[in-house]
Amino acid sequence: MPLLIWNEELETGIDVIDQQHKRIVELINQLNLVSKGKADGNVGDVLAELVDYTLSHFVFEEELMEEAGYPFSKAHKRVHDIFTARVNEYKMRFDAGEDVTDALRDMLSRWLFNHIKGDDKAYARVVKRHLERTTSWQPRPRRPWYARLFGT
């Protein structure tokens, strides 16, 4: 499977979200390379980071949508929850010794691009307006996902 290429169709116009989406794409590509032996690293480590980062990103997005008063944030969260359950299932199978890397990577990449182009773009206008109004907006540092997404 070819590497995923970021394109402007995937931009939500919300910088903090676009950066996180790009990082997820980067991790999927890294998983692809490592699993094919084309890059150094351990498949399990990359997989764990990809899953952890993606799930942290979901929580971040959900809080932001809710804070912005996006009317479909609950429905969006349900989509994340279904996807999270699927990812965890793959992760458990991997931990049990099954080689799920190709299947997980394909599922993730297909799902991610569709999700960004559809569901994520749908909240962009409302969230963007919210962020523009609240110029002092900062991610809340005590949240568990903070270190994962912002590296402190």
The contact set with Fe ion (CB under 5 A) reads: 61, 120
Judged by CB, which is closer to Fe ion: 61, or 70? 61
As a whole number of angstroms, the distance between CA 70 and CA 62 comes to 10
Of all residues in the shown chain, the one whose CB is closest to Fe ion is 120
Residue 138: name the closest of 121, 120, 152 by CA.
152
Give the Å distances, CA to CA, from 96 to 43, 100, 105, 135. Answer: 14, 10, 17, 47
As a whole number of angstroms, the distance between CA 152 and CA 141 comes to 9
Judged by CB, which is closer to Fe ion: 93, or 115? 115
As a whole number of angstroms, the distance between CA 54 and CA 23 comes to 9
Judged by CB, which is closer to Fe ion: 46, or 112? 112
Residue 152 beta carbon to Fe ion: minimum distance, rounded to whole angstroms: 23
- Burial grade of 50 (CB within 10 A; 0-12, 13-18, 19 or more): buried
Judged by CB, which is closer to Fe ion: 64, or 120? 120
Residue 31 beta carbon to Fe ion: minimum distance, rounded to whole angstroms: 20
As a whole number of angstroms, the distance between CA 83 and CA 39 comes to 27
Residue 148 beta carbon to Fe ion: minimum distance, rounded to whole angstroms: 16
Residue 76 beta carbon to Fe ion: minimum distance, rounded to whole angstroms: 6
